[in-house]
C-alpha cells in the first residue's frame, strides 16, 4: 500500500533463529520461533512533517474507498443479504463509509456449524502456526498503520492521535497475546508427584461469540478475537453496527495472512436481532463482550439460561461501562490536574469507558479549579477529525439525544460553566460542545449515570476522606485517578479507591497493553484484565494429566532427551 509508519518497527520474528520450547502437551510438541520480548508500539508523532503527509495521503486514499460493500463471511463463503447495515461518517452523516450485510437469526446456526467444523482442525493446529498468524497480522497492520488510522477517522470520528492510539493498541494486543499463548503452553504443575509424570495443558473452550463496542472498534474488536483464536477457539465475530467497516478490513487482513475458513466468521448484525441469537445458541461455549452495562447484563442473564441440548455452562467475559472519577487533592500540581482531567474527560469527546466524568475537587482549591478548567475546556478546538481537530463528533443520533438529555438534566443539577449546546455545521456533523457542570451533588443523576459523551461534573469534597467516599459511591468501578502531593493520601487511595484501574498523578484514560491490564469492578464488568497475564486463561480450560511412571513413560523421556526438548 505504500503508506507506512515512519518509526522503527519491531524486529520481525522471522529473522530470529528458531528455538525449541518444551511443550507440556505430549501429543502436540511444537516448535516455535523465539520472539523478542514484548515492547509497546510507539505512537506516531504527527508534528513531524513526514508523518503528517503520510496521514493526509492515507486519508485521501481511504476517501476513494468509502462506500464500498462488504460481505458476510461464514466458513469462508461470502454471502449477501437483503437487509443492509450502512455505516456513516459521524462528522458528515451523508457520507457512507461502508455498506454491510445484515446477519439475521437464521445465520446464527449456519455460522455456528461453520465455526464448529473449523474448531475440529484449528484446535489441533500447532500453536506455532496460530501464533504466526497473529504476528503476521500485527506486522501488516503496522505497515498499513496510517490507512487504518484513516478508516477510524472516517468511521467513528477519531482525531489522528486517537486513531493512532487505537491502532497501536491493536498491534500491542496481537503481539502480546502471541507471546502469552507461548508462555501458557509452557505451564507446568506446581510439583511433580513422586512416581508420576504430571502435566497441565490449557486447551481451548470451543466456539465463542465475540461482540465488541463501537468506540475502540479496532483494538477491542481485534483483541477479543485474537485472544480467542490464538488459544485454539473459533469465533463468530459480530462487530458494532457503527463500526463494521474497520472490522471488515481487519477480517480481510486476517484472511490475507492465512486465516483458515471458519476460524473467524464475520457476521455484521444488529445486537438484538443477531447478537442475542449467538449468545443464546446452546452450542456457544463462551461470549467475549465489551459494551454497555445494560447489554452486558442482558447477555449475562441469557448466557446463564441452559437451553435444550446444551452440555456446558457458558463462560462470559463481560467488560462494561464506567462512571470514572478523578480526585483533585488540595495539595497537588494543579496544572497537571487541569490537563489530566481535561484530556480524560474530553479526549475522543468523552466516549471512552475510562473517561473522567466526575472531578472530585477539594473545597480549598475548588473555586480556582473551576475557573481554570472552564478556561481550558472553552479553548478546546472542535471540528472535523479528518482535519485533526481535538474534539470531534459523537457517534450517532441516539448518542446526540442521550447526551443532550443529560445536559438538560444537568442544568437543574449543577451550574453550567461551559458548553451545553449542539453545534450545527453545514455537514450536519454530530457535534456537542465540551460541557462542564460545577456544584453537582454526589448522588445527582449526572454524577451517577454513564453519559458517554463530552460532559464533566465537578463535585466539591470537604476532606480527603469525603473525596474517597464520593469516588466509591457509584455502582461502577472501572478507572479512577488522584492528583495529590501527599504520600499518605496516595497510599490511602491505593488501598481504598475501589476501581479496576487506578492511576496516581496521571490521567485515568490511556491504558497500555501489558503495563495496565484493563478491566473493572462491580457493574463495570467481570474484571477480565485485557492485555494482562491472566487474560488468555479466560479463553481456555485447564486439563490436568497424571501418568504413572512405567516403562512406557520412560521411553517418552528418552525420546524427548534425544530431541533436546
Binding-site ranges for ligand NAD (CB under 6 A)? 211-216, 220, 238, 240-241, 271-272, 275-276, 279, 290-292, 295, 298-299, 319-322, 353, 450, 452, 478, 518, 520, 524-525
Q: How far apart are CA 181 and CA 158, in angstroms?
A: 31
Toward ligand NAD, which CB reaches closer, 150 or 243?
Answer: 243
Q: How far apart are CA 95 and CA 103, in angstroms?
A: 23
DSSP for 500-546, written as a single string: SEEEESS-S----TTTS-B--SGGGBS---BTSTTGGGGGEEEEEEE
Q: How far apart are CA 83 and CA 103, in angstroms?
A: 8
CB of 452 to ligand NAD, least distance (A): 5
CB of 317 to ligand NAD, least distance (A): 10
CB of 542 to ligand NAD, least distance (A): 25
Residue 492, Cα to own-chain centre: how many angstroms? 29
CB of 89 to ligand NAD, least distance (A): 17
Which stretches of 205-270 are DSSP H helices? 219-230, 244-256
Contacts of 343 (CB under 8 A, 6+ apart): 507, 509
Toward ligand NAD, which CB reaches closer, 216 or 497?
Answer: 216
Toward ligand NAD, which CB reaches closer, 223 or 262?
Answer: 223
DSSP for 312-325, written as a single string: SPPEEEEE----EE
Question: 16 with 132: CB under 8 angstroms?
Answer: no
Toward ligand NAD, which CB reaches closer, 144 or 314?
Answer: 314
Toward ligand NAD, which CB reaches closer, 319 or 329?
Answer: 319
CB of 557 to ligand NAD, least distance (A): 45
Toward ligand NAD, which CB reaches closer, 155 or 185?
Answer: 155
Q: Which residue is nearest to ligand NAD (CB)?
A: 271
**Angle between helix 366-378 and 334-346 (nearest 10):** 50
CB of 295 to ligand NAD, least distance (A): 3
Toward ligand NAD, which CB reaches closer, 279 or 370?
Answer: 279
Q: How far apart are CA 224 and CA 303, in angstroms?
A: 18
- Determine the Cα angle at 553 with ends 552 and 557, to 5°: 125
Question: 197 with 186: CB under 8 angstroms?
Answer: no
Identify the bridge partners of residue 463 per DSSP, sorted by sequence position: none
Which candidate in 267, 353, 356, 370 is catalytic?
A: 353
SS3 125: coil
**Beta strand 324-328 pairing with 264-266:** unpaired
Q: How far apart are CA 349 and CA 347, in angstroms?
A: 5
The grid coordinates listed for 114 are 461453520
CB of 329 to ligand NAD, least distance (A): 26
Toward ligand NAD, which CB reaches closer, 122 or 154?
Answer: 154
Question: 507 with 343: CB under 8 angstroms?
Answer: yes
CB of 239 to ligand NAD, least distance (A): 6
CA distances from 165 to 152, 279, 326 (A): 11, 30, 22
CA dihedral 23, 28, 33, 36 (to 10 degrees): -40
Toward ligand NAD, which CB reaches closer, 264 or 279?
Answer: 279
The DSSP call for residue 274 is I
Toward ligand NAD, which CB reaches closer, 159 or 276?
Answer: 276
Which candidate in 180, 319, 449, 450 is catalytic?
A: 319
Q: How far apart are CA 394 and CA 405, in angstroms?
A: 14
Q: Which of 128, 223, 120 is nearest to 539 (CA)?
A: 223
Asked about 175 being catalytic, the answer comes back as no
CB of 121 to ligand NAD, least distance (A): 28
Helix (H) or strand (E) run with residue 457 in it = strand 455-461
Asked about 267 being catalytic, the answer comes back as no
CB of 432 to ligand NAD, least distance (A): 16
Which stretches of 290-427 are DSSP H helices? 293-304, 334-346, 366-378, 397-413
Q: Which residues are catalytic?
A: 319, 353
Amino acid at each position: 500500500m505504500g503508506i507506512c509508519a515512519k518509526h522503527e518497527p519491531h524486529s520481525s520474528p522471522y529473522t530470529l533463529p528458531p528455538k525449541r520450547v518444551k511443550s507440556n502437551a505430549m501429543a502436540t510438541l511444537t516448535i516455535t520461533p523465539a520472539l523478542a520480548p514484548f515492547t509497546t508500539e510507539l505512537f506516531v508523532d504527527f508534528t513531524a512533517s513526514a508523518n503528517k503527509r503520510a496521514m493526509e495521503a492515507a486519508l485521501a486514499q481511504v476517501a476513494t474507498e468509502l462506500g464500498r460493500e462488504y460481505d458476510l463471511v461464514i466458513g469462508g463463503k461470502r454471502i449477501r443479504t437483503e437487509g443492509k447495515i450502512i455505516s456513516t461518517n459521524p462528522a458528515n452523516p451523508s457520507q457512507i463509509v461502508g455498506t454491510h450485510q445484515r446477519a439475521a437469526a437464521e445465520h446464527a446456526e449456519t455460522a455456528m456449524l461453520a465455526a464448529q467444523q473449523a474448531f475440529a482442525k484449528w484446535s489441533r493446529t500447532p500453536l506455532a502456526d496460530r501464533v504466526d498468524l497473529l504476528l503476521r497480522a500485527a506486522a501488516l497492520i503496522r505497515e498499513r498503520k496510517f490507512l487504518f488510522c484513516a478508516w477510524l477517522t472516517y468511521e467513528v470520528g477519531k482525531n489522528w492521535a486517537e486513531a493512532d492510539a487505537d491502532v497501536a493498541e491493536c498491534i500491542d494486543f496481537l503481539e502480546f497475546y502471541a507471546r502469552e499463548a507461548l508462555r501458557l503452553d509452557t505451564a507446568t504443575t506446581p510439583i511433580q508427584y513422586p512416581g508420576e509424570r504430571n502435566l497441565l495443558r490449557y486447551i481451548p473452550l470451543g466456539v465463542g461469540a465475540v461482540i465488541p463496542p463501537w468506540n475502540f472498534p479496532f483494538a477491542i474488536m481485534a483483541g477479543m478475537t485474537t485472544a480467542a483464536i490464538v488459544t485454539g477457539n473459533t469465533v463468530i465475530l459480530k462487530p458494532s453496527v457503527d463500526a463494521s467497516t474497520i472490522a471488515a478490513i481487519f477480517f480481510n487482513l486476517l484472511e490475507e495472512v492465512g486465516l483458515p475458513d471458519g476460524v473467524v466468521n464475520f457476521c455484521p448484525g444488529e445486537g438484538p436481532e443477531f447478537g442475542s441469537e449467538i449468545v443464546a445458541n446452546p452450542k456457544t461455549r463462551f461470549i467475549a463482550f465489551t459494551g454497555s452495562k445494560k447489554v452486558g447484563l442482558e447477555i449475562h442473564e441469557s448466557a446463564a439460561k441452559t437451553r435444550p441440548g446444551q452440555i456446558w455452562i457458558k463462560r462470559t467475559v463481560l467488560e462494561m461501562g464506567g462512571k470514572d472519577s478523578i480526585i483533585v487533592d488540595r495539595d497537588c500540581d494543579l496544572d497537571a490536574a487541569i490537563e489530566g482531567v481535561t484530556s480524560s474527560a474530553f479526549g475522543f469527546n468523552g466516549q471512552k469507558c475510562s473517561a473522567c466524568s466526575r472531578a472530585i475537587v477539594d473545597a480549598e482549591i475548588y473555586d480556582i479549579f473551576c475557573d481554570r478548567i472552564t478556561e481550558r475546556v472553552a479553548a478546546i478546538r472542535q471540528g472535523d477529525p479528518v482535519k485533526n481537530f481535538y474534539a470531534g463528533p459523537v457517534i450517532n443520533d441516539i448518542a446526540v439525544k442521550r447526551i443532550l438529555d443529560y445536559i438538560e438534566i444537568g442544568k437543574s443539577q449543577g451550574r453550567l460553566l461551559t458548553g451545553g449546546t449542539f453545534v450545527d455545521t453545514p455537514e450536519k456533523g454530530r457535534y456537542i460542545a465540551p460541557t462542564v457542570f460545577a456544584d453537582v451533588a454526589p448522588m445527582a443523576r449526572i454524577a451517577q449515570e454513564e453519559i458517554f459523551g463530552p460532559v464533566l461534573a465537578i463535585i466539591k469534597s470537604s476532606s480527603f476522606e469525603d473525596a474517597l467516599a464520593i469516588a466509591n459511591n457509584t455502582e461502577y468501578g472501572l478507572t479512577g485517578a488522584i492528583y495529590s502531593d501527599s504520600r499518605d493520601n496516595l497510599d490511602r487511595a491505593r488501598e481504598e479507591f475501589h476501581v479496576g484501574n487506578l492511576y496516581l498523578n496521571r490521567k485515568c484514560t490511556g491504558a497500555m497493553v501489558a503495563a495496565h491490564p484493563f478491566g473493572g469492578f462491580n457493574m463495570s464488568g467481570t474484571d477480565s484484565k485485557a492485555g494482562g497475564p491472566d487474560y488468555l486463561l479466560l479463553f481456555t480450560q485447564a486439563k490436568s494429566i497424571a501418568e504413572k511412571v512405567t516403562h512406557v513413560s520412560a521411553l517418552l523421556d528418552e525420546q524427548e532427551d534425544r530431541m533436546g526438548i
